[in-house]
Amino acid sequence: MKTTIDNNSRVFLIHRIGFFTRDYFCNLEDIPVILKTELEPNDQYTISEYWNKKFKRCSKKHLNEMFAANKVDFKI
């Protein structure tokens, strides 16, 4: 899957945990698409936000608040 990163908005890293690790960089609007198409339902993953030149792990509450604030119809 190809995504276009918009540098004017926040960038996220989705890291799949397991035997074959994969990393996906995307914007907030692309997170639901990647979780539905690229990951299996039982895969373990972490979502980190790139902020102040470092990665900060996002909680489910923080992500759901950002989805609601940006009018993205998705809940984790």
Contacts 24+ apart (CB under 8 A), 1-6: 1/33, 1/34, 1/37, 1/38, 3/27, 3/30, 3/34
Specify the number of domains making up the chain.
Answer: 1
Whole-Å CA distances, 27 to 22, 34, 38, 58: 17, 10, 15, 14
Phi then psi dihedrals of residue 41, to 5 deg: -60, -30
Domain hosting 44: range is: 11-69
Q: Is residue 27 part of a domain?
A: yes
The pLDDT of residue 41 = 87
pLDDT at residue 3 greater than cutoff 80: no
Q: Is residue 74 part of a domain?
A: no
Q: Is residue 2 part of a domain?
A: no
What is the per-residue pLDDT across 30-71, written as a single tens digit (0 to 9) for each?
A: 999 999 999 998 999 999 999 888 999 999 999 999 999 999
Q: Is residue 33 part of a domain?
A: yes
